[in-house]
Amino acid sequence: MTQVLTKPLLEIKHLDVDYGLGDAAVRAVRDVNLTIHRGEVVGLAGESGSGKSTLAYGVTRLLPPPGVVAGGSVTYHPADGEPYDVLSLNHAELRKFRWAETSIVFQGAMNSLNPVHKIDIQMMDAIKAHEPGLSKAARVARAKEMLRLVGIAEDRLEAYPHQLSGGMRQRVMIGMALALQPQLVIMDEPTTALDVVMQRQILGQLVELRERLGFSVLFITHDLSLLVEFSDRIAIMYGGRIVEEAPSADIYRDPLHPYSAGLLRSFPALRGERRELTGIPGSPPDLRGMPTGCSFHPRCPKRFEPCDTILPILGKPDDHVGRARTVACHLHPVTAG
Ligand code: ATP
Ligand code: SF4
């Protein structure tokens, strides 16, 4: 996968997200910095509970209560016009941002198709709401094109959701998201309910489409092997923090954080040499009682003296100078700033 580093599209800085308020609050996302560039596919990986969905919901301001963004900024850079902080948008501006700039496909999105309407009506309604000026013929053409692009025959537009398989319905949802021609597509485990072959097909199509249409993708999954194959860069989350971020080839060949290495050993590689699958012993930390120092230390096979007391800072590792990667681990001292 070629690295496409262009202008930033979305810059997340020092983002904190809590569930609950005051003494009852637990911090699910901690001081997260992540930039998605134009045309880039960024993968976000981590075990269940690491904070991936909370980050996606926080960034798009779709957090269900009691979730609250407790700090940080999310700067969006439109194609024309000045950058703005998504967290400061009022209700009307936020609505416009969601329709015009981003599309989100969540896990199980296929279940949000309305069972009593055919696919064509649902796709056409979405396109009409987004681009009211478009003629009916243009809307039909767009809907057909998007279905074709996600590998569904045009005649399926006439189908009701129950006449399609789960995989097809999920593809329809992805096609619908893309029909609105967003700049940023956020996909939160959109393919988990599908088999591995189908997951790969859908992701492959998405990456091809990105090359044609130029949108950026934030793809969230616990399956690192999928990301290694399809993303330009990967960020790894643990206990609400990003602990490593690097081009996907670097994560695959030379993961620096022991947690990234453990995740890689938890899934069979889709291509390349076979790895022994050993997984990661132990369980993810409880947000209400995070371990001191490096939160991964109780599970880390490489922990040493400072790990249980000093929090490692995410930064560019001194032993990989010149590489576009960051890590938060005492094994790889970083240059501050
Ligand atoms: P998964 O892959 O299972 O969705 P994730 O990495 O996306 O996991 P989140 O769903 O973001 O993780 O959850 C992060 C943490 O926030 C978890 O510890 C979870 O228990 C907690 N959490 C999520 N939703 C709520 C909620 N509504 N109230 C309290 N805590 C929550
Ligand atoms: Fe392991 Fe220490 Fe690195 Fe944490 S800081 S990942 S405990 S070696």
**Predicted confidence band at 2 (pLDDT cuts at 50, 70, 90)?**
very low
pLDDT in tens, 63-75: 999 999 999 999 9
pTM value is 0.90
Distance 230 CA to ligand 2 centre (A): 28
Q: What is the four-CA torsion angle of 44, 45, 46, 50, rounded to 10 degrees?
A: 20
Q: CA of 49: how far to CAs of 46, 110, 141, 230, in Å?
A: 8, 23, 41, 23
66 prior amide bond cis, ω within 30: yes
Residue nearest to atom 7 of ligand 2 (CA): 297
| Residue where the block lists tokens 């999920």 | 170
- The 3-class SS string of 26-95 reads EEEEEEEEEEEECCCEEEEECCCCCCHHHHHHHHCCCCCCCEEEEEEEEEECCCCCCCEEHHHCCHHHHH
Give the long-range contacts of residues 312-321, CB within 8 A, separation 24 or more: 314/33, 314/241, 314/242, 314/243, 314/245, 317/256, 320/256
User: Which residues contact ligand 1 via a Cβ below 6 A?
Assistant: 19, 28, 46, 48-54, 64, 66, 222, 287
| Residue where the block lists tokens 């609505």 | 95
Give the number of the atom of ligand 2 that is nearest the alpha carbon of residue 312: 5
Distance 18 CA to ligand 1 centre (A): 10
Q: What is the mean pLDDT of the chain?
A: 88
Residue nearest to atom 3 of ligand 2 (CA): 329
pLDDT in tens, 111-159: 788 899 999 888 888 888 888 889 999 999 988 888 887 888 888 889 9
